[in-house]
Structure 1
Amino acid sequence: MSLKKYRPLLSLVVLAGLAYLIHRVIFYALEINDTPFYYSIETLYLLFLVLSIMVFVVLLKVKERSFDNVGMSFLLSTSVKMIVCYVILKPILQVTNEENTLEKINFFMMFIIFLAIETILTIRILNEKQ
């Protein structure tokens, strides 16, 4: 088992941990109380991390079998992840109040952060062929 093969997963975990620490520092500095949130920040980070790991396991398997299909697999797996995230977000979207607005922004920012991390790491995988 080659460690180089699973390097994107290690990078994903490190970047997610760094994003979590920055997120917590920002919430602490701005004195934002996240206890009334429907989902805690830790739960969301764990959920996004698990979904991202699943995306990369699929990408690494596809890379072994057919490198040319990695990009399409990324698009498909990201679309499935988006559907799962919508199902998770649905209870938050149904409630409308000022406290909930911050929670919605928080959820979407975390989604965008993980999407950016996945995209950058997928680009690295695709550039390995060159």
Structure 2
Amino acid sequence: MKIKDFSAVLWAFMISAMAFLIHKGLFYLLFPQAETAFAFPLLTIYGFFTACCVAITLTSVFIKGSSVHSVGQFFMLLTFVEMALCFGLFYSGLSSSGTSVSFEKGNFIIVFLFFLAIETILTIRLLNKNQ
């Protein structure tokens, strides 16, 4: 394996950090009190999804080295595991009702979909290299 193959992991970290800073800045400017009512702060959510994104990207890099045809299957399996972990870890804080909770639920699903898009794009780029 070449060191260039691991550039996707660096991209995952950089995109995550930029998204977190933009998200935090938007909350600071537009909704200054919204994050204080959240059950899980943005740093926790972004930390969890960044760790999952890096794990999925690293696994995709290693799987590609041994069998290119299995990368898609492992990607789908790890995405399912990520969603199961999300449900298990964050369900208790997001299951209550209220106006701030619905805002938090929307925020959570947007962050999840954003990281799902990042993981998918990085995996597609990884598979399309050298073709």
Give the structure-1-normalised TM-score.
0.93
State the match for 2:20 in structure 1. Answer: 20
Superposed, which structure 2 residues align to 1:30-109 within 5 Å? 30-33=30-33, 34-109=35-110
Amino acid aligned to 2:9: L
Amino acid aligned to 1:11: W
Q: CA deviation at 1:31?
A: 2.5
State the match for 2:10 in structure 1. Answer: 10
Aligned-residue identity in percent: 35
Query: How many correspondences in the alignment?
Result: 130
What's the CA shift string for 1:39-80, capped at 9, x where partnerless? 110111111111111111211111111011111111111111
What's the CA shift string for 1:8-32, capped at 9, x where partnerless? 0000000001111110121122134
The alignment's C-alpha RMSD in Å is 1.3
Q: CA deviation at 1:99?
A: 1.1
Give the structure-2-normalised TM-score.
0.93
Q: Whole-Å Cα distance in 1 between the matches of residues 128 and 3 of structure 2?
A: 18
> SS in structure 1 opposite 2:5?
helix
Amino acid aligned to 2:97: T
Q: Hey, which bits of structure 1, 4+ residues long, moved more than 4 A? A: none
Query: Are the counterparts in 1 of residues 49 and 115 from structure 2 also a CA contact under 8 Å?
Result: yes
